[in-house]
Structure 1
Amino acid sequence: MSSDPADSRTNDLQDAVLDSLDVGHFLDGLCRHAAQSLGEGEEVLCGITLLRDRKAATVASSSESARKMDEVQYSYDDGPCLSAAREQATVDIPDVEREARWPEYMDAISGHGMRSILAVPFDLAGDAKAALNLYSDAPNKFGNEAMERARAYAGEASRSLRLAVRIAHHSEHAEDLATAMESRTAIDIAIGIIMCQSRCSQTDAFEYLKKASSHRNVKLRDLAGQIVASSNANSQPATHFDH
């Protein structure tokens, strides 16, 4: 049986994926595992910054404290973790109090008790970019060995994170599609109601709905929903694909 630490980390990540209830659960577990394995018995905070559509967000963290440290950086829209993700390069801050880059951010993060930071990019091979963020209240916490371990860890986790981002993207697309379908159904039903009430054609009913929407400054789908609700207060429109 192999005793290679890299094999052990890979097996742990595979177990985390299999045991996870959802994408968020898996990523939080990944952060906790990274914080524990790279902390070497001392507390280390870990978060994952994801950049999509020019927006930064912490998609997972080892703790609420780790999430707050990431959010401090987002308020400045720049810093080691964001740079690591954007430039796809490792950023090491041995001592926050001696770092000349990002002075305002360094003052802020120092005020939270952090002294060293290490940010390692993930390879997502797409438009999305991400970085593994590590924080410690001890200066010079992340030496060369820790840096190599963090890079190896991020490399091994990149494939899993790519899958997680892909799943999240498809889930968001499915939710958007379901919302669009529901809106279309409400509009179709509203048009039918107008046709019955006004004894007009489908085209005329749709034109009436569009003009009313513009005149009242109400979105078409919202006005359609109001018409359906007022027609039958006890009924909610359902898509034709519901079972």
Structure 2
Amino acid sequence: MNRPTVPTDIAEFERELVESVSIISRVIPGRPMVSIALCAESGIRTAACSHVRAGRLDELQSATGDGPVLDAISTGRPVTATDLAADSRWRRFAADSRGLRSLHSEPLEFEGGPLGALTLYSDDAGEFPDAVRCSLRVSAGHLELLLRTTLGAARTREMVAQLKEALATRAIIDQALGIVMAQRRCTSHQAFEVLRQVSQSRNVKLHQLAASIVEAVSGEPPQRSRFEEPPSHSADQP
């Protein structure tokens, strides 16, 4: 199964999933058990569930490598079972599910590949009405959008952090360049080549070498530049 790289450790995303399954379980008639299972390196893992048992049903399928949730994920199509006792597709799952009678699983996709599945479990036999399945399909689409939005924000934060780190280390390197230029009476380009060659010969990162030079000359570790976040402006401010 080809799977995209999914940041399933995003805390904001998983908090929203917990709230989502709680809402879905409350609004659907009969209050079925709801789970959101995400693709993992091996099988699936439950990211959120309305009932502990729903998570265990996910785990059962992950452990055996067989079940309706895995089918929904692998095929990219919804999977429905109206009476597991009479369903021959997942005999082992049905035997171990302890009274579970019906289910409906909607696949979740992300960046062109399977993300997981949103699943309803019920101890009552019978087909989930069309309106319920349609609502679940819409909810699945909202979850995919939520992940894209959350991931975009996380990537932006990561880029900002990397930029700040790059600017901070660059400031230290510039200090070391000034010291080398003064000591050797050379250009900035020549000073940088000196630092680069020493960095390679000692197998030390350039910014670490620069910091050691600044500390050796000044007697103190170099001060890292501080970057303040710009003030946020509310929509009602001019």
TM-score by length of 1: 0.55
User: 1:3-18 maps to which residues of 2 (within 5 A)?
Assistant: none
Return the offset for 1:222.
3.6
Please identify, of 200-209 and 189-198, the stretch whose mean Cα deviation from structure 2 is larger: 189-198
User: 1:150-161 maps to which residues of 2 (within 5 A)?
Assistant: 150-161=136-147
Unaligned runs of 5+ in 1: 1-20
Flag the structure with larger Rg: 2
User: 1:162-201 maps to which residues of 2 (within 5 A)?
Assistant: 162-201=148-187
Match 2:77 to one of 89, 113, 120 = 89
Return the offset for 1:153.
1.9
The answer (yes or no) to whether the contact 2:172–2:222 under 8 Å persists in 1 is no
Task: Give the aligned partner of residue 47 of structure 1.
Answer: 36
User: 1:16-31 maps to which residues of 2 (within 5 A)?
Assistant: 25-31=15-21
Tell me the matched-pair count. Answer: 211
The answer (yes or no) to whether the contact 2:39–2:45 under 8 Å persists in 1 is yes
Q: Percent identity?
A: 25
Give distance in 2, aligned partners of 1:59 and 1:175. Answer: 30
Change (3 A) 1:237 1:134: same
- What whole-Å deviation, never above 9, does each CA across 1:138-171 have from its counterpart, x for those lacking one? 6788944354442132134444443333323323
TM-score by length of 2: 0.56
Name whichever structure is richer in helix by fraction.
1
Change (3 A) 1:142 1:24: farther
Give distance in 2, aligned partners of 1:150 and 1:128. Answer: 19
User: 1:1-243 maps to which residues of 2 (within 5 A)?
Assistant: 25-37=15-27, 40-41=30-31, 44=33, 46-47=35-36, 49=38, 61-62=48-49, 84=72, 88-91=76-79, 119-122=105-108, 126=111, 130-134=115-119, 143-145=127-129, 147-229=133-215, 231-233=218-220, 235-238=222-225, 242=228
> 3-state SS of the aligned residue for 2:38?
strand
Give distance in 1, aligned partners of 2:192 and 2:61. Answer: 49
- What whole-Å deviation, never above 9, does each CA across 1:70-89 have from its counterpart, x for those lacking one? 78988999986677567543
Task: Give the aligned partner of residue 3 of structure 1.
Answer: none
The answer (yes or no) to whether the contact 1:31–1:48 under 8 Å persists in 2 is no
Return the offset for 1:207.
1.5
Return the offset for 1:238.
0.7
The answer (yes or no) to whether the contact 2:34–2:50 under 8 Å persists in 1 is yes
